[in-house]
Amino acid sequence: MSLQYLAARLPINHPKLPQVQQSLFMRRAGEGGEREVLSYLQEALYSLPSFILHNFHVRVPKHFSIQIDYLVLTNNYILMIEVKNIKGRITFKPNPAQMIRELDGDLIAMDCPFAQLDRNLIHFKKLIGQVSLPIYTAIVWVNRSAILNQPPLNSPHQLIFIKQLPHYLNQLDGLPNQVIDLHSLVKRLKSKATPFYLSDICERYSLAPNELLSGLICMSCYTLMTLHARTWICSRCKMKNNYMLDENILCAFDLLGDNLQMNELRQLLPFLYSRNLEKLIETGSIRRTSPKKNRVYSLERTTKVHWIKWNGIN
């Protein structure tokens, strides 16, 4: 939602708009691919005691983080999955590690998923410590029209198309059961997991707040709204709503940072007053700090992590 909100605030002729729209397209494709992978995981694991963790994110400790699309934990193994939903002809370059996509005559360099899994595996092993379960890794390609060239030689990471996933998991199921308390392992991982948030997005795209359109954004169709007789009206979907102010305030924190003064919030929402923040403060979504003159409002991000429970685990 944050990238879509940013795109709505960029003028139509802004030079960074195509880059933001491309990032938004890739993120949506990635999320769609991850939903598809989940259905295949459920198909393969329906009769097995197992845990599936989607979007496992850990900050280690504050200097960097790792993010794994899916972690599968069973009595036989741990599986780390990186999901890719990219079309075109894909070539993997080993040195330096790089992924090249050719589509409609254009070449685009992207981060190499093999190098990404190398890094994640190193830090995940340090994070989890000694366990009796073997750890496997796989890159699951969702886009069925993609043409994948030879992956790097001697890579420990399996590269498979999504329809191969149940068969691959079935092979892993033949591994011997280990004497391990899955509940304790899951509890330990859960204590270390942190939610993943897109924040400080303007800084990421080297955008200054004065480059963005100010006003209220319709959170239904992401169009700039206009104020008529104290009512905000969307010019596209014609919605008349004032409740979208709270969502706009929270999105402003995503764009500008987690700790903002009122004058910073007013760069996007010039009509904003301190009384407009009271409901968010009462619900614990944001908090006030510092004296009134230099008051800072801080976003309170949730610490809840999205765990998926599956068969055989109570």
* 309, part of any domain: no
Residue 308 binned pLDDT confidence (cut-offs 50, 70, 90): low
Given 196, 226, 248, which residue is the final one in a domain? 196
Alpha carbon distance 77, 191 (integer Å): 20
**119-173 pLDDT, tens per residue?**
999 999 988 888 889 999 999 999 999 999 888 777 889 999 999 999 999 999 8
Cβ count within 10 A of residue 73: 22
Same domain, 176 and 138: yes
The domain total for the chain is: 2
Same domain, 120 and 181: yes
* 243, part of any domain: yes
Handedness of CA 18, 23, 28, 33 (dihedral sign): positive
Q: How are strands ordered across the β-sheet holding 97-103?
A: 106-110, 97-103, 89-94, 147-148
SS3 content of the chain, % helix, strand, coil (to 5): 35, 25, 40
Same domain, 215 and 185: no
Same domain, 96 and 159: yes
**51-74 pLDDT, tens per residue?**
888 888 887 666 678 889 999 999
Same domain, 187 and 266: no
pLDDT at 137: 95
Write down the residue that tokens 């939602």 correspond to.
1
* 38, part of any domain: no
Q: Which domain holds residue 89?
A: 48-196
Given 196, 228, 256, which residue is the final one in a domain? 196
**13-60 pLDDT, tens per residue?**
999 998 888 888 888 888 888 889 998 998 888 878 888 888 888 876
pLDDT averaged over every residue in the chain: 85
Amino acid, single-letter form, for residue 182: L
